[in-house]
Amino acid sequence: MLSFIARRSATGLLMLVALSVLIFILLRLAPGDPIDAYINPSSPMSASDLEVLRDRLGLDQPLPVQYLAWLRAALGGDFGYSIQRSGVAVLPLVMERVGPTALLMGTGLAIAIVLGISAGIFSAVRRNALPDIALSVVAFVGISSPAFLTALLGLYFFSVLLRWAPSGGMQTAGAPFSVADVFAHLVLPACLLSIGHAALIMRYMRASLLEVLNQDYVRTARAKGVREFWVIIKHATRNALLPVITLIGSTVGIAIGGAIFLESVFNWPGMGLLLVNAVGTRDYPVIMGATLVIGICVILVNLLTDIVYAVVDPRIQVSR
């Protein structure tokens, strides 16, 4: 198991380096001059001052040199300072947003896992019956709905028309902190975030369980007189969960993309909202720092998924 974890960790580290290189290059290839983000439009600078600033920031160096300088500082925990927030270090700024994003994504994915697996089992057991058809239609609608459309429609119906939930933020402005207040603000965006993932998990769980139910050992268990409930739960569901576990791990990256839209729509103070604002203001250090932290989170979740997969199916440790 330790060797398995070591191999997966090494792969994750290489992916993280590749991600940082890709983001660094894309930012440098974006239209405009990076130095423009450091200039106050109301106070134009002379050409000589611009060259001094470019030299101080290292922007006059070749791209590989710039990247290595940034990487060396990042490995020491120095992600630089925000351009738009004078004197504010990037790393603390990003880390204080990790909690709200983790709360939103964790709640949304937990809802999606519970609903998706339960609906998938129910749909497989009731194959081709009316409940199965109805759940399949709902699942296809959920999978086909873009995150931004789901967020806007949910905000309009449940917050504006019905007034069942707050329209934005993590807690009521001016009110003292309370768990109930945070929960009230969390429910709607978390449920909206879970829709597409629950639908996808449901379809995978249904297909996987139907395949397992046709296996010989399931028929043998039924022939021995095992109750159908225990045949489904004990014998079939565990093996059917294997591809679903992999799917759940891979949806974390997709969930981050959905969370970015949701945090923007609901003004949720997480990394998604921070990243959107940084892109809008061309705050390059914040973009690099937030992207790297998000990449680390995704890689750690994928590593955890591989470990859980290996625990559930020990054959994985031998074959990989």
Same domain, 283 and 168: yes
- What gap in Å lies between CA 95 and CA 68, rounded to an integer? 23
Same domain, 150 and 273: yes
Q: How many C-beta atoms lie closer than 10 Å to residue 29's C-beta?
A: 8
Give the residue from 42, 63, 84 where a domain finishes. 63
Burial of 49 (0-12, 13-18, 19+ CB in 10 A): exposed
Structure tokens at 173: 């402005």
Q: Is-contact 198 115, C-beta < 8 A?
A: yes
pLDDT of res. 316: 55
Least confident of 176-180, 195-199, 253-257, 290-294: 253-257
Is 87 inside any structural domain? no
Same domain, 24 and 163: no
Same domain, 153 and 273: yes
Is 281 inside any structural domain? yes
Is 73 inside any structural domain? no
- Is 190 or 50 the better-scoring residue by pLDDT? 190
Taking Cα atoms as reference points, which of 221, 244, 207 lies closest to residue 124? 207
pLDDT of res. 115: 92
HEC letters along the chain: CHHHHHHHHHHHHHHHHHHHHHHHHHHHHCCCCHHHHHCCCCCCCCHHHHHHHHHHHCCCCCHHHHHHHHHHHHHCCCCCECCCCCCCEHHHHHHHHHHHHHHHHHHHHHHHHHHHHHHHHHHHHCCCCHHHHHHHHHHHHHHHCCHHHHHHHHHHHHHHHCCCCCCCCCCCCCCCCCHHHHHHHHHHHHHHHHHHHHHHHHHHHHHHHHHHHCCHHHHHHHHCCCCHHHHHHHHHHHHHHHHHHHHHHHHHHHHHHHHHHHHHHHCCCCHHHHHHHHHHHCCHHHHHHHHHHHHHHHHHHHHHHHHHHHHHCCHHHHHC
Is 242 inside any structural domain? yes
Same domain, 37 and 133: no
Is 199 inside any structural domain? yes
Same domain, 158 and 268: yes
- The per-residue pLDDT for range 195-219, each reduced to its tens digit, is 888 998 998 899 888 888 888 888 8
List the beta bridge partners of residue 232: none
Q: Is-contact 136 247, C-beta < 8 A?
A: no
Same domain, 314 and 194: yes
- What gap in Å lies between CA 117 and CA 78, rounded to an integer? 42
Give how far Cα 157 sits from Cα of 151, 152, 166, 188, Å: 10, 9, 12, 11
Same domain, 136 and 262: yes
Give how far Cα 94 sits from Cα of 115, 225, 247, 270, 288, Å: 31, 57, 27, 9, 10
Mean pLDDT of 158-176: 83
CATH number (domain holding residue 230):
1.10.3720.10
Mean pLDDT taken over the chain: 81
Mean pLDDT of 60-84: 82
Same domain, 241 and 163: yes
Model confidence pTM above 0.85: no
Domain count, the chain: 2
Q: How confident is the model at residue 287 (pLDDT cuts 50, 70, 90)?
A: confident
Structure tokens at 286: 């914040």
- The per-residue pLDDT for range 16-52, each reduced to its tens digit, is 888 888 888 887 777 766 666 667 666 666 777 777 7
Whether the pLDDT of residue 5 is over 50: the answer is yes
Same domain, 52 and 171: no
Same domain, 110 and 56: no
Is 265 inside any structural domain? yes
pLDDT of res. 111: 92
pLDDT of res. 270: 87
Q: What backbone phi and psi angles, to 5 degrees, belong to 205?
A: -65, -40
Q: Is-contact 209 120, C-beta < 8 A?
A: yes
Is 216 inside any structural domain? yes
Whether the pLDDT of residue 94 is over 70: the answer is yes
Domain residue limits at 126:
95-319
Is 72 inside any structural domain? no
pLDDT of res. 318: 47
